[in-house]
Chains A and B, each alone.
Chain A
């Protein structure tokens, strides 16, 4: 299990154990973390698991894929550190990762 901390826009923190290899959208949805919907089921085909990755973690979570880029481009709240949580898999290197959420998902 990997400890992931989901931080809502209002600052509320949810520390959750995500099985290794599971993506971070599933990790949130399975644990009823509010603010991540995962409408497409993890295909990077919507943008309802939009999150921001703090700078110190960016190298470990990797780069956005082209498909992710296409979906996030259409979200109003995209920032340089925007990712889709469904495209990041829990791994030991991510133990303690903080995932920040936008005010709303679109």
Chain B
């Protein structure tokens, strides 16, 4: 162990600011492909045998094709805390933390592992230094605590009970409007539709413009390098436009009686009422992405998993009482946010590896959720899994997802209402996945409900 700790000069993140825009081209293994389209089996075979240090798991390729599990299984077994050098001229290099216990150790040690935006924040790729958006998920205590508490009441148990009837009514309306006997996109018609309606309610935002919230959420997390996505400059302009619209709402609400929506809550809480504009924008982005991408992708994922596992679908149809347990299993199996990242504030040892002050430490929730030292048969989707609530998808420690109960409620109601209506919903083809090592989700999933 001692020798392992000594020779670490090669395993250190490049300093902040050492990566400049535009990013240099990405190094990728030379694998057979057709116009950039890779065969899944080829990629899995490569990840199963390539030298560990040759793989950059931050490459969207491994996420768009859902092949990353092959690599994480090897890391958990062979090198559970492992430094990625390849492409460090793009991401500065980072530690992969892949086992349940090590992820838990990092997530619960905010004294050593910082979330601070100006150190790069909470995602593998640093927050754009020209466009720092402070938000409470990317803050350390004590400021984190007071800002989080300002919004906490809207997703607390008491308040959720008041939403239940509304969520059910909307879910019924959306499901009743679905076509029978013809193919349609589940992501658009159900996943996005339901989450955008909920989000509009939480913000007190006009329902008829709810898809703007989806749009801003997508822009916030979109990779500016990918063709078709807004460039870095366009992204900044779009988000500033969002800020402008929300500032109008803020101005209306700050001098009015407090109402039960996020904008009013931020405007009236002493901890947040004097936020600078970029911080208001940051917290908006956090709450929009947090309430949108995650639940959306668990809504899509659940249906996909049931189709891939017909015996589980049959089990559910035979026993609707399994819905609540299944919801937790869906959230584990989907892991809608594949990772959270921290920055080490001091030298420290993790899993036998010396982490240097300033290093990026990436907690792979997607990997910890498949750790067989904690979970029985983790690669299987089992809707009646014992203690299904014990998963990593919400994170642990002080940054644990604030909206987890709302997400669970939305999914539970959705599946209860689906089972009341439809005997079966068929996924027609492999869904299109989001090419991101952060947001683990679906762009499109064609389905059909038998006529």
- Using a CB–CB cutoff of 8 Å, the interface residues on chain A facing chain B are 29, 37-41, 43-46, 48, 67, 70-71, 73-74, 76-77, 102-106
- A67 CB contact (under 8 Å) in B108, B157, B391, B402: B108
The answer for the CA separation of A39 and B331 in the assembled complex, in Å, is: 13
Q: CB-CB < 8 A to A41: which residues of B?
A: 374, 390
Measured in the bound complex, the distance between the Cα atoms of B152 and A39 in whole Å is 19
Q: Which of B107, B108, B394, B398 contacts A74 (CB 8 A)?
A: B398
Which residues of B from 39 to 76 have beta carbons under 8 Å from A? none
A45 to chain B, nearest CB (A): 4
Give A46 to B152 CA distance when docked, in angstroms.
14
Shortest C-beta distance, B317 to chain A (Å), equals: 25
Decide: A43 and B396 in contact? CB cutoff 8 A.
yes
Per-residue A-contact encoding for B347-387, CB less than 8 Å = 1, 0 else? 00000000000000000000000000010000000000001
Contact indicator B157/A103 (Cβ below 8 Å):
yes
Q: Are B390 and A39 neighbours in the complex by a CB distance under 8 Å?
A: yes
Question: Is the pair B108, A104 in contact by a Cβ cutoff of 8 Å?
Answer: no
| Binary CB contact string for chain B from 394 to 406 against chain A (1 if under 8 A, 0 otherwise) | 1011101010010
Cβ contacts A to B, 24 pairs, < 8 Å: A37-B389, A38-B389, A39-B389, A39-B390, A39-B394, A40-B390, A41-B374, A43-B396, A45-B107, A45-B108, A46-B400, A70-B110, A70-B397, A70-B398, A71-B398, A73-B145, A73-B149, A74-B398, A74-B400, A76-B156, A102-B157, A104-B156, A106-B152, A106-B156
Interface assignment of B104: CB less than 8 Å from any CB of chain A: yes
Interfacial chain A residues near B107, Cβ < 8 Å: 45
A104 to B107, CA, bound (A): 24
- 5 A-B pairs besides A74-B402, A102-B157 with CB distance below 8 A are A38-B389, A45-B107, A46-B394, A67-B108, A74-B400
Q: Judge whether B10 is part of the interface by a CB distance below 8 angstroms.
A: no
> Which residues of chain B have a CB within 8 Å of any CB of chain A?
104, 107-108, 110, 141, 145, 148-149, 152-153, 155-158, 160, 374, 387, 389-391, 394, 396-398, 400, 402, 405
Supposing A43-B104, A106-B405 touch, asked if A74 and B152 sit within 8 A by C-beta, the answer is yes
Interface contact B400-A45, CB-CB below 8 Å: yes
For A67, what are the chain B residues with a Cβ–Cβ distance below 8 Å? 108
A47 to B, closest residue via Cβ: B400
Q: Are B152 and A76 in touch, CB under 8 angstroms?
A: yes
Q: How far is the CA of A74 from the CA of B402 in the complex (A)?
A: 9
Query: Complex Cα distance A103/B158, Å?
Result: 8
- Determine the distance from Cα of A39 to Cα of B145 in the docked complex, in whole angstroms: 21
- Please report the C-alpha to C-alpha distance between residue A46 and residue B392 in the assembled complex, in whole angstroms: 11
- CB neighbours of A40 from chain B (8 A): 104, 390, 396
A71 to B389, CA, bound (A): 18
Contact status of A45 and B158, CB under 8 A, knowing A29-B387, A74-B152: no
**A106 adjacent to B396 (CB under 8 Å):** no
- For the complex of A and B, 4 pairs with smallest distance between CB atoms: A104-B157, A45-B396, A76-B156, A45-B108
Bound state CA distance, A46 and B148, in angstroms?
15
Query: What residues of chain A lie closer than 8 Å to B156, measured between beta carbons?
Result: 76-77, 104, 106
Which A residues are CB-close (under 8 A) to B110? 70
Judge whether B157 and A105 touch: CB under 8 Å. yes
Chain A residues with CB under 8 Å of B389's CB are 37-39, 48
With A38-B389, A45-B107, A106-B405 known as contacts, the answer to whether A76 contacts B396 (CB < 8 A) is no
Give A30 to B389 CA distance when docked, in angstroms: 14
Alpha-carbon separation in the docked complex, A63 to B77 (Å): 39
Closest residue on chain B to residue A30 by CB atoms:
B387
Shortest Cβ gap from B348 to chain A (Å): 17
Q: How far does the alpha carbon of A70 sit from the alpha carbon of B398 in the complex, in Å?
A: 7
CB distance from B49 to the nearest CB of A (A): 34
A104 touches which of B141, B391, B398, B405 (Cβ 8 Å) = B405
How far is B156's CA from A71's CA once the two chains are assembled, in angstroms? 14
Alpha-carbon distance A46/B405, docked complex (angstroms)? 13
A46–B398 Cα distance when bound, in Å, is 8
Question: Nearest Cβ in chain A — how far from B73, in angstroms?
Answer: 22
User: How far, in Å, is B192 (CB) from chain A's closest CB?
Assistant: 27
Query: B405 to chain A: which residues have CB within 8 Å?
Result: 104, 106
Q: In the bound complex, how far is the Cα of B231 from the Cα of A57, in angstroms?
A: 60
Residues of the B chain whose Cβ atoms lie less than 8 Å from the Cβ of A38: 389-390
A13 to chain B, nearest CB (A): 21
CB contacts (< 8 Å) of A48 on chain B: these are 389
- Measured in the bound complex, the distance between the Cα atoms of B149 and A18 in whole Å is 34
> Complex: how many Å from CA A94 to CA B145?
33
A22, chain B: closest CB distance, angstroms: 15
Identity of the chain A residue whose Cβ is nearest the Cβ of B400 in the assembled complex: A46
